[in-house]
Amino acid sequence: TFCSYYFIHLICFSIRVRANDREYNEKFQYASNCIMTSKYNIITFLPVNLFEQFQEVANTYFLFLLILQLIPQISSLSWFTTIVPLALVLSITAVKDATDDYFRHKSDNQVNNRQSQVLIRGSLQNEKWMNVRVGDIIKLENNQFVAADLLLLSSTEPHGLCYIETAELDGETNMKVRQSVSVTSELGDPNNLASFDGEVVCEPPNNKLDRFSGTLYWREKKYSLTNQNMLLRGCVLRNTEACYGLVIFAGPDTKLMQNSGRTKFKRTSIDRLMNTLVLWIFGFLVCMGMILAVGNAGWEKEVGSLFQSYLAWDTPVNNFLFSAFLSFWSYVIILNTVVPISLYVSVEVIRLGHSYFINWDQQMFCSQCNTAAEARTTTLNEELGQVEYIFSDKTGTLTQNIMTFNKCSINGQSYGKDTHNTCACSRDRMLDFSLFNPLADPDFCFYDDKLLESVKVGDSCTHEFFRLLSLCHTVMSEEKSEGELVYKAQSPDEGALVTAARNFGFVFRSRTPGTITTTEMGRTVTYSLLAILDFNNIRKRMSVIVRNPEGRIRLYCKGADTVLLERLHPCNQEVMSITSDHLNEYAADGLRTLALAYRDLSEDEWEAWSESHRFADKATDCREDRLAAAYEEVEQNMMLLGATAIEDKLQEGVPETIAVLSLANIKIWVLTGDKQETAVNIGYSCKMLTDDMTEVFIISGHTVQSVRQELRSEGMQGWREPCFNGNGFKEGQEGGDTAGGKFALVINGHSLAHALEADMEAEFVSTACACKAVICCRVTPLQKAQVVELIKKRKKAVTLAIGDGANDISMIKSAHIGVGISGQEGIQAVLASDYSFSQFRFLQRLLLVHGRWSYLRMCRFLCYFFYKNFAFTMVHFWFGFFCGFSAQTVYDQYFITLFNIVYTSLPVLAMGIFDQDVPDHRSLEYPKLYEPGQLNLLFNKREFFICIAQGIYTSVVLFFVPYAVLSNATQSNGVPLADYQTFAVTTATALVIVVSVQIVLDTGFWTVFNHVFVWGSLGSYFIIMFALHSQTLFRIFPNQFHFVGSAQSTLLQPVVWLTIALATAICIVPVLAFRFLKLDLKPQLSDTVRKHTKTQQGRLGARGGSRRSGYAFAHQEGFGELITSGKNMRLSSLALASFASRHSSSWIDTLHTQTVHTVCFSGENTKTVI
């Protein structure tokens, strides 16, 4: 039933595409290949953009206020006081959106106008990508991007094979093979293809990159199609001269576009806090409105009703309750400036500025790869200053994924010198191979001339050692011109070994499915390749069986020491023990080791084994096991040649960065897919694990019980507790810190699966976060994300995930902050990340400098912003008690309009963008400076209430000081000063001066911009006020500018200035005293550092020795088979004509039979349904 359901599904919800038949396909109205990532065009921009913007609650709220203001009985402010800031905010956002969209249009155009060759009426014509239709057959050439999701029809390579690189799609850099359905692969040339009229029925567009199911109907036959037949948009054709494909999905239907869903929008904790606070402020606003409305009711009842002979109620108002109701709304309008509309825009502007500073930072620029750091999202900057947990990938992030052949042990003799200190890696001590060997790779470094001597002398063991390295591998070579060899290795380890052999005179030149050609000490030798005993994770070794020109058959084997040493001939005992010591030594140096061995086979032995191997290979059931048994049979009684040691090079500055970050109290967890040994090894070499650690716990249980047992083991008791106080207000962390410093935890993927279960989760977290270092190895991408989610949930801490590969995407997306390393592994991680740069060590600068500054600036900005607006707005509240709760404003309307957007916006923006408490190098010198961010000390609810309290205090002073002074004062010509306009100007001026003085106090880093903005804003206040109170404007609009002459009349009075000075002093003096006391009695580290100008240097030591290592052989199974089959041999690279006919290899057969299987199977089912 499942099958029938599946096929009903397939038929009902499937698409049909007929090749070379545009009319037919047009009936279905498939998407064209034109992609459109832009959101607007010229006509739709305004309505769509406005619609989007009004979906933001804040904007709608202000629109609501605007509508309220249009009701004359409510309107306490002119309409423009809201519409001017609203329009400004909307237009800034609109301009930003328009610019973004313009660039999207541009890039869309560029992509849509790429050329591709389309087969139209039997001839190839150049068409733009956007004109390619579903059902078209297009030709792709080598290194071209695939224009749409194609069904591979034929290729220039044999068997309709072609190679693609899918880095754009899934981030994997290794090449993948695609094969066309056999019937179509014969349609080699355009003429045949033009007459191809097959019809494809397949599943509708979806976003599954690794799945495709469909059926090709052609000449009354059905052929099943799988993902193996598809070329997806975004891939690049490699190593294939050309191929033809049928467009199945185009444009937005392609898997690439289907995958580009909207990403989850990340918010910072400050954002969330801000939203909560804004809600509280709304609540506060409503409360104040209620208080004043009640006041209004009382006043209208007691006083207003009696005052009616002078001041009648407005027409619809007939009782005091209605009046109170209206007054509530009037006050909501007036007091709305406690949450100014400019808050969100200002925050965005500041973050944008910080993002640019990240992009512009030269010290995060990597000159080797010409990549600057990039803030891909502009909304998370301040969160960078609060990170507590870093989850790091290993390969490509901590390490360069570059392997170097570092040491070797040949026949009991160890070669190679310590090259730990990269500075010691000077050119003069490096061996020069060029004289000895013209084919040497100039980039290869080795520092022990004894080995070269040994090669030159002709030591047979040494020769055999390198011969093995040059023969036993699955590397492909490409020789563009004579002597210019390029190796394409499956894993970097292998490449390093083959390159080493090459430099020591055993040059691997080329291979065919049956031969390997090498140049041994200048002499070209061709071995016939009899068998490749491929690598897999269980065998942990690979072997080749070759026949040398003299006819002798020999098996060469390389593999993990643990498995290889067991399979040696007993006569090796002595060499084995010495080599074993060497292996331990290498492992202790953090090197990846391999043991090498050979075995001579007689012709009879070979024949016998070959027979059993063939038999096993042909077996239909348990083929794998039989093959393994066959391999096992021959890999016995081997002679030990020696061992190699490969260094997995760390990225530059990794140990130093980790040291600095852990000093900043950031916990670093390494989550890697690698093996435990490798991971631990890297842990040591990057100083996460140190020898002075009390204990390194290794949890590798396979069952729930054993994992629980291990988690609860003796040593872990007792010190687990101190870490159980989450983020927020953490008390003295010192104790927990030192306790945790002694332990480390290493956990395996399968144990982690149990540890992540609901009932063990808490235990795991409490154990893990008490450890200084946590390493999770053998974890899947999903587990990486789960670990991040766990910490997010349990610890309420800010997490950062850093990685470079496609397997890190889930982790990068689920962490608060995702950082992508733009390295060799494609750009998928970068695309999913929030920040990207090319070196792990830039992380310290990103967090400790940029993050810290961003956090500091944002906090200072928010504190000041809330303070300023409360000081500004609450004056109306106090005035309410003196004006009959009538919602009369204290200030001129223009002042209310301009206060937030002109008079006070720029100084605080300048502070939010440029402020620095300590210079950048200091924050790296004193990583403890990072702690206030983690503890959320600079802006939290407590700080918010302090700001609010200060704002309210200021508003009290600003209202009651002028009230007390002016109520009885007169001008020097006897005219009283207590008129409304004088009062308004006095209060407004005092307010502007007080908040300016406050920003002067708050700004710690006075750049030229701060000066210009602070003094400019103050100046602009006076200039604009005099302009608005001028006679000229009044003469033009007498009904709009009531305040004519108020500015000069008021500001000429000494009493007014004395009042302003008094108010300023009363506002600022307590702040000054409080700050001084705090600084003097309880200085923060940043204050101390700021004062302390002496430099401190030389802090981190160089890296030292390390511990036990293991075997790491990042290899994939199946390549050996591919090589012997000859299917991946480029025709152009080798004269393979002779081999082209005899390629009945098992691999291709398996592939065929599998395909046939599915065709038959699905065919039957289709019949039953139809």
Partner 1 sequence: MMASSYSAKDEDGHITVSGPGGGTLRNKKPENTAFKQQRLPAWQPILTAGTVLPAFFIIGLIFIPIGIGLYVTSNNIKEFEIDYTGDDTSSPCYNCAKNFSWNNTKSCTCTIPFQLDQPYESNVFMYYGLSNFYQNHRRYVKSRDDSQLNGNIDSLKVGASSPMASRKKKKPSKECEPYASIDNKPIAPCGAIANSMFNDTLKLFYNDPNGTSVPIPLTSTGIAWWTDKHVKFRNPVGTNSNLTAVFQGTVKPVNWHRPVYELDTDPENNGFINEDFIVWMRTAALPTFRKLYRIIQKKNNMAPTLPRGNYTLVVDYNYPVRSFEGRKRMILSTISWMGGKNPFLGIAYITVGSVCFFLGVVLLVIHHKYGNRNNSANISN
CB of 472 to partner 1, least distance (A): 31
CB of 1048 to partner 1, least distance (A): 8
Binding site feature residues: 393-395, 494, 535, 558, 592, 672-674, 778, 784, 804, 807-808
> In whole angstroms, what is the distance from residue 651 CA to residue 633 CA?
42
> In whole angstroms, what is the distance from residue 388 CA to residue 852 CA?
13
CB of 345 to partner 1, least distance (A): 12
Angle value at C-alpha 1063, between 1058 and 1068, nearest 5 degrees: 125
Element (H, E) at 415: strand 413-415
Binding site feature residues for Mg(2+): 393, 395, 804, 808
Element (H, E) at 1167: helix 1146-1169
> In whole angstroms, what is the distance from residue 1042 CA to residue 1036 CA?
12
CB of 376 to partner 1, least distance (A): 9
> In whole angstroms, what is the distance from residue 540 CA to residue 1111 CA?
9
- Cβ within 8 Å of residue 8, ≥6 positions away: 1169
Residue type, 801: A
Helix (H, G, I), strand (E, B) or coil at 221: strand
Asked about 449 being catalytic, the answer comes back as no
Contact (Cβ atoms closer than 8 angstroms) between residue 711 and residue 763: yes
Helix (H, G, I), strand (E, B) or coil at 972: coil
Q: 41 or 970, CB closer to partner 1?
A: 970
Q: 7 or 320, CB closer to partner 1?
A: 320
> In whole angstroms, what is the distance from residue 490 CA to residue 1113 CA?
10
Q: 121 or 262, CB closer to partner 1?
A: 262
Q: 314 or 574, CB closer to partner 1?
A: 314
Phi first, then psi, for residue 626 (nearest 5°) are: -65, -40
What are 231's strand-pairing partners?
A: 150
Phi first, then psi, for residue 443 (nearest 5°) are: -85, -10
Closest CA to 155 of 223, 237, 212: 237
CB of 1072 to partner 1, least distance (A): 6
CB of 1084 to partner 1, least distance (A): 11
What are 604's strand-pairing partners?
A: none
The 8-class DSSP code of residue 900 comes to I
Contact (Cβ atoms closer than 8 angstroms) between residue 551 and residue 1136: no
Catalytic member of 101, 170, 361, 393: 393
CB of 933 to partner 1, least distance (A): 16
> In whole angstroms, what is the distance from residue 691 CA to residue 705 CA?
30
Q: 709 or 967, CB closer to partner 1?
A: 967
Residue 1095's CB is within 10 A of a number of other CB atoms, namely 8
Q: 34 or 747, CB closer to partner 1?
A: 34
Which strands make up the sheet holding 667-671, listed edge to edge?
374-375, 835-837, 817-821, 798-803, 387-392, 667-671, 773-777, 743-748, 695-699
Q: 5 or 1015, CB closer to partner 1?
A: 1015
Contact (Cβ atoms closer than 8 angstroms) between residue 373 and residue 358: yes
Structure tokens given for 944: 């918010």
Contact (Cβ atoms closer than 8 angstroms) between residue 645 and residue 417: no
Binding site feature residues for ATP: 393-395, 494, 535, 558, 592, 672-674, 778, 784, 807-808
CB of 1052 to partner 1, least distance (A): 11
CB of 1081 to partner 1, least distance (A): 6
Q: 586 or 914, CB closer to partner 1?
A: 914
Give the orientation angle of helix 42-53 with respect to helix 80-112, to 10 degrees.
130
> In whole angstroms, what is the distance from residue 622 CA to residue 627 CA?
9
Element (H, E) at 344: helix 342-360
Q: 28 or 103, CB closer to partner 1?
A: 103
DSSP assignment of 502-516: HHTTEEEEEE-SSEE
Closest CA to 776 of 671, 880, 688, 680: 671
Residue type, 1061: A
DSSP assignment of 145-183: BP-SEEEEEEESSGGGEEEEE-HHHH---SEEEEE--HH
> In whole angstroms, what is the distance from residue 1105 CA to residue 513 CA?
44
Q: 207 or 636, CB closer to partner 1?
A: 207
CB of 451 to partner 1, least distance (A): 33
Closest CA to 528 of 542, 545, 543: 545
Q: 111 or 1169, CB closer to partner 1?
A: 111
Contact (Cβ atoms closer than 8 angstroms) between residue 892 and residue 1041: no
CB of 371 to partner 1, least distance (A): 7
Report how far Cα 22 is from the mean position of its chain's Cα atoms. Answer: 42
Q: Which residues are catalytic?
A: 393
